[in-house]
Amino acid sequence: MRRGEAAAGRPLLLPRGTLLLLGVCSALSLEIRASPKVRAFIGEQVSLRCSFTSSSPISESLTVDWTYQPLSGGQMESIFHYQSVPYPTSVGKFKDRISWVGNVAKGDASIAIQNPAVSDNGTFICSVKNPPDVYHNIPQTTLVVTERGLFFQLTSASLLSILVFLPSILVVIVLLVRMGRKFRAIKEKTKSGCKKSSIEVSDEPERAEADGCLGKLKNWCLACVDTDEEDPY
């Protein structure tokens, strides 16, 4: 009994590796989401979206860091930092071309790049820390900058004109088709206006035959009347 009581009262001991794993898992309560690939066009602003969720309230200690690695490889370089206010890089190829478009209160840590060029192609990493939530996944965004094709070079005014006039053109075409059909119907009716229908043609022999019988009967009656008048008493 004494051994059982001692075993019941003894605290449960776990290996150090298990405790460390449980501590890391409990600290990974900050999750970051970013688009794996973003396509941009030369000279047109592009947004690099990054959102996060944290189990801790948003505080002034929250930081956002964006880093960049060229497509050809090489060392990662810091291009943007945020803590209460944005701090875009003041050196390098992205100088004066990065702006803050996020809102940490809504879990948004996005940035925008003005006048992107093909040389900007590479990998971007968004990192967020909201103490005590400092451990998180590391999503990567690949930026692909290309030149727009001929179709995409249409101005907004041209696109608007097409959208406005296309329905009108379709309506005019439909009206012309209907008018053409109506004109052909009137023309065919005019050509066949003097022709008699099959009913009228079939009635003519019967009418002629009836008129002939009535004429014979009338002549016979007149002959009978004349004979009676001339017959002496």
Residue 56, C-beta contacts closer than 8 angstroms, at least 6 positions apart: 29, 30, 130, 131, 132, 133
Whether residue 169 sits in one domain with residue 123: no
Structural domain including 112 reads 26-152
Q: What is the pLDDT, as a whole number, of residue 2?
A: 44
**18 is a domain residue:** no
Whether residue 136 sits in one domain with residue 32: yes
Whether residue 87 sits in one domain with residue 181: no
Whether residue 135 sits in one domain with residue 159: no
* Model confidence pLDDT, tens digit, residues 206-232: 555 555 655 665 665 556 545 444 444
Whether residue 159 sits in one domain with residue 68: no
The per-residue pLDDT of the chain, averaged, comes to 78
**88 is a domain residue:** yes
Whether residue 129 sits in one domain with residue 186: no
Least confident range from 21-25, 47-51, 56-60, 124-128: namely: 21-25
Is the model's pTM score more than 0.85?
Answer: no
CA angle 125–127–132, rounded 5-degree value: 165
How many domains does the structure of the chain reveal? 2
**204 is a domain residue:** no
* Model confidence pLDDT, tens digit, residues 119-170: 999 999 999 999 999 998 999 999 999 998 754 555 555 666 677 777 888 8
For the stretch 144-173, what's the b/e string if a residue is b when 16 or more beta carbons lie within 10 angstroms of its beta carbon?
ebeeeeeeeeeeeeeeeeeeeeeeeeeeee
Q: SS3 sequence, 56-77?
A: CCCCCCCEEEEEEEECCCCCCE
pLDDT band per the 50, 70, 90 thresholds, residue 115: very high
Whether residue 100 sits in one domain with residue 58: yes
Whether residue 159 sits in one domain with residue 120: no
Whether residue 34 sits in one domain with residue 60: yes
Indicate the residue among 93, 122, 152 that finishes a domain.
152
Bridging pattern class, strands 63-70 and 50-54:
unpaired
